[in-house]
Chains A and B, each alone.
Chain A
Amino acid sequence: MSDVLRRREIPVAIAFVIGLLLLVEYFVAVPEMTAVARTIQSWGVVFAAMALGVGALTLGAYYYGHIRRRTPGTWYLCLWSLLVMVLTITIGVLGTTRHPMYIWLYSNIYFPLSATTVSLLGYFVVSAAFRAFRARNVESALLLLTAIIVMLANIPYGRVIWSGFEAVSAWVLNVVNLGAFRGIQLGIAVGGIMVGIRRLVGR
């Protein structure tokens, strides 16, 4: 019996039936189908909420491996990370996210770490601007020229340098860029639909 349940065809069939139901229900109004689709969509929210724990378990297992093996230079940091995780979960679950301690942790530890990590990109892009952005051919020159025009149009000082940057940037964004991105979005959509259908039929 468990061999039958382990067969890969079952999950493929589940995905196909659910996917087909939701697709057909979108275009054909049948009350019973709509009710089932609504229920399935509601279930999806419960799954997604409960799935968040899987990542934590996997991370915990990975850290536990390092702690057990006493990996040099890493194991104590893994232990620290696990402690932080447990502390966060304890305060958040027992006190909810509205608890002053949780808000304190969120505002003084989580937010600064997250924002600073993203801010590293600012430094990297400036470094890349000097070391890597090269107008080696027509295409890269066009890319750089567009980037410079858009950057100058985005800042108030751009108007001081030349008042036309905003108009040129607006034309580039609303005509050339629009045409290119329309084609890209259509390509993404067609590709997304083809990949989706392949996934639903189990390929």
Chain B
Amino acid sequence: MKGSESGLTAKIRSNQPQVIYGLLLIFIIVPILYPIAVPMAVTEDTKKLYDFVEKLRDGSLVVVDGGVTVGWWPEMQPGAAAISQHLFNRPVRIIFIAFIEDTSILLHQMLTGPLIDKKGKKYGVDYVELGFMAGGEAGMAAFARDFHAVLKSDYYGEPIDTLPIMKDAVNAKSLALWIPLGGWEVEWALRQVGPHGTPIGCVSLAGNVPGFKPFLATGQLVGLLNSVKGGAEYEILMKKPGLGAVYMGGISLSHIVTIALVILGNVIYFVSRGKVKKEK
């Protein structure tokens, strides 16, 4: 028995990473199969963005600017869907555009899928998809300066001059709000759109959120959704639980596992360091 226990321990020790991966997988699967609902609070940054959208004047123009590669889209999707739905609920006009190659298709799939109810809004009049525009930050700067100078057609290949919504949409100054999704996209918007005086509210990748706090403090950002958590909070404010709520329910145990492993790792480290010192 003692021999088999030490054999098992030795096996666990030699496959330590895989044991940890397995643990993570279990603690992510369990809440999916047996969900437990726990209430969530709404943070101030999410509330600010919600209130800003809620107070937009009728007929305002808003840009939703998709800016993540496809791999990071699951993190953005709940927030992007929630805020897009809010915009469709309000009597505002929406322009969807992407400055990163992957996002135009993702935005299109989101808009034509079951997540968004367009509330009878008409394409070309109340909202438009402009597709992908190359150039990254330089492309965004050119677009913000003059929408019609570079961009000639929408996602479907229709000339934008024929779309009624684009008649009032001249440059960034025509906008009531610019909503970048992502990390780099938000920084580009702060540098290239903000100086035009356009308010910016973002759905940010989680790792970038601490870095955007100074911009929230100065008012350069009017609000911020912290990736999937912000998306879940926005769903609470919209009173329409969706993907965000599902994700938040699922990832909570994984965070506990991570914290437990950090503490365990440090306990083992300090105990073994104490033993080494004693032996000396």
Contact = CB atoms under 8 A, between A and B. Distances in A.
A79 to B, nearest CB: 25
Interface stretch (B87-95, B139-147, B161-169, B174-182): B139-147
A117 interface: yes
A48 B136 contact: yes
A135 B270 CA distance: 9
A70 interface: no
Interface in A173-194: 173-174, 177-178, 181-182, 184-185
B135 A48 contact: yes
Interface in B68-106: 69-74, 101-102, 104-105
B16 A123 contact: no
A45 B20 contact: no
B142 A174 contact: no
Nearest to B248: A156
Interface in A147-203: 147-148, 151-152, 154-157, 159-160, 166, 170, 173-174, 177-178, 181-182, 184-185
Contact of A130 (B142, B211, B226, B265): B265
B152 to A, nearest CB: 11
A117 B71 contact: yes
Interface stretch (B2-10, B36-44, B46-54, B55-63): B36-44
Contact of A118 (B20, B72, B141, B262): B72
Interface residues of B, number: 64
Contact of A115 (B70, B213, B229, B256): B70
Nearest to B22: A123
A125 interface: yes
B142 A126 contact: no
A129 B38 contact: no
Nearest to A174: B213
B88 to A, nearest CB: 22
A49 B138 CA distance: 12
A179 to B, nearest CB: 9
Contact of A127 (B17, B108, B156): B17
A41 interface: yes
Interface string B114-156: 0000000000000000000111101101100110011000011
A120 to B, nearest CB: 10
A47 to B, nearest CB: 8
A135 B266 contact: yes
B21 A127 contact: yes
Contacts of A181: 210-211, 213-214
User: Interface size for chain A: under 10, 10 to 19, 20 to 34, or 35 or more residues?
Assistant: 35 or more
Interface string B251-279: 11111111101101110010000000000
B66 to A, nearest CB: 14
B255 A133 contact: no
Interface string B194-212: 0000000000000001110
A84 to B, nearest CB: 16
Contacts of B226: 154
Nearest to A111: B70
B214 A44 contact: no
Given A42-B142, A155-B255, A133 B262 contact: yes
Contacts of B29: none
Most buried by B among A41, A110, A166, A184: A41
Q: Which 3 A-B pairs have the closest CB atoms?
A: A114-B71, A156-B38, A49-B134
Interface of A: 38, 41-42, 44-49, 52, 96-98, 103, 106-107, 110-111, 114-115, 117-118, 122-123, 125-127, 129-131, 133-135, 144, 147-148, 151-152, 154-157, 159-160, 166, 170, 173-174, 177-178, 181-182, 184-185
Given A126-B24, A147-B262, 15 more contacts: A38-B146, A41-B141, A42-B149, A44-B142, A52-B101, A115-B73, A115-B74, A126-B258, A130-B20, A156-B249, A157-B256, A170-B44, A177-B213, A181-B213, A184-B211
8 contacts: A41-B141, A47-B135, A107-B109, A126-B23, A130-B262, A156-B39, A159-B41, A178-B214
Interface of B: 16-17, 20-21, 23-24, 38-41, 43-44, 69-74, 101-102, 104-105, 108-109, 133-136, 138-139, 141-142, 145-146, 149-150, 155-157, 209-211, 213-214, 217, 226, 229, 248-249, 251-259, 261-262, 264-266, 269
